[in-house]
Amino acid sequence: MTTRPPREATGSQRPLKGSIRVPSDKSLSHRVALFSALAQGRSRVRGLLDSLDVRSTLGAIEALGAQLDIKVEADGLCGTITGWGDAGPHGPKNALQCGNSGTTSRLLLGVLSGLDVTASLEGDESLSRRPMDRVIAPLTKMGARFYPSEAFSQEGAPAHTPEGAPASTLPLTVKGTSSLEAIAYQSPVASAQVKSAVLLAGLNARGTTSVTEPYKSRDHTELLLPAYGASLTVEGLTTSITGGQRLFATDCEVPADPSSAAFLLVAAALIPQSEVTVRDVLLNPTRVGFLTVLRRMGADIAIKINKNAHLGTEQVGEVTLRYREELEATTVEPYEVPALIDEVSILALAATVAKGTTIFKQVGELRVKESDRLNAIVCGLTALGCDVREEDDDLRVSCAPPHIRATRLATHGDHRLAMTWSIAARAFALALDIYGLESIEVSYPGFFDDLKRLS
């Protein structure tokens, strides 16, 4: 990984030009590592994202008994993962360290629920504030049990806790069981992490487990599990899996992360004379909603699908964005939000130069990200002199580009905010004092190096 960047971010409006491959997709890297650990046999993996979040998942599966032979190469983490398969994982000697990764913690809770193993999960200060009850609730209905970690005895049985004591945040302990019962779960939120946790538990449940969402969330789990031999059915907003299935090792090469690409592409949309191409990028429709929104705003975007590159049934290709003057405001409807939830901050920055008022409807999910990202977007853009406000769960951004040249901005330990404020400095020639730029290493360790390559 790269060294930590300087705290001060000073920008210039030199055009961004060139072709680049951003780091591999974080969501797929987590799943490739975890599914390979569950599988029978040895999977060859290439291009896993070398970031703190993915390393948390790798550390957890190794602590549970998967055998890793992984090396750092030019395109990411490469090597083999030998799964525990039919033997199952072993109880870890120490708590599983999830770091800042919500995906690591929530998907692990699903996996461990259906296995005869007891394990404790811990996270950093930020992750320990994020809600786990959204996965704990359905998994408890299936038969798993969850306890505050400090209330779990050395013998692996729940110690006395006050009546009704919640186990809704980390640290917590999960006591899995091989006797899970399938459920038909109506999820109140469109969340790929919730859906994946329940489906992974369903792999070891009696009967057929289904998850129905209010809107379609990311579908990486549904598209990747069949590559490991599992069978699922998808009907509209309902995904179902029948228990008792085994996973088998496979070979995986992870494409580039569209969420990381979004920051460079929006930078090109903001800086005159820019033209940026992102190669080998994941083009899953549930991940590229930000491209749809940018096109509505008037951005010049070309997409080319590579029919010879894929992971499971995921689409891969390249995206080129050329600068075009006079972006137009748009409205992002609630059903669109799951496909661009991680890009709202950078899209909000783009909206500051779009004629009219851009409205992001029902983005309250941002309140439970690595930070209260919704409030942080409003505070940060306001500090830059932009016209932005929060109305209930909606975000409204009117045309008023950043113009306060020097100010301090907080990232709240949130990598998406850190990249957004850095792009603001670059696109509008600002000298910003940004606290917490090191958080970028959670998902995009080479971010500043790639900006320089395109300058």
The rounded distance, in Å, linking the Cα atoms of 24 and 73 is 12
**What DSSP element (H or E) covers 44?**
strand 42-48
Q: Work out the number of other CB atoms within 10 angstroms of the CB of residue 400.
A: 15
What's the distance, Cα to Cα, between the start and end of the chain in Å? 21
Instruction: Give the CA dihedral 352, 354, 355, 357, nearest 10 degrees.
Output: -60
User: Hey, what are 428's tokens?
Assistant: 């509008």
3-state secondary structure of 363: coil
The answer to whether residues 400 and 385 touch, using CB atoms and an 8 Å cutoff, is yes
Query: Ramachandran region of residue 376, left (φ > 0), alpha (ψ -120 to 50) or beta?
Result: alpha
Instruction: Reply yes or no on whether 449 is catalytic.
Output: no
Question: What is the total residue count of the chain?
Answer: 455
User: Which of 342, 392, 433, 449 does the annotation list as catalytic?
Assistant: 342
Question: How many whole angstroms separate alpha carbon 391 and alpha carbon 396?
Answer: 8
Kindly list the strands in the beta sheet with 314-322, ordered across the sheet, starting from the edge strand earlier in the chain. Answer: 17-20, 275-282, 314-322, 300-311
Other CB atoms closer than 10 Å to residue 141's CB: what's the count? Answer: 13
What residues are labeled active site? 342
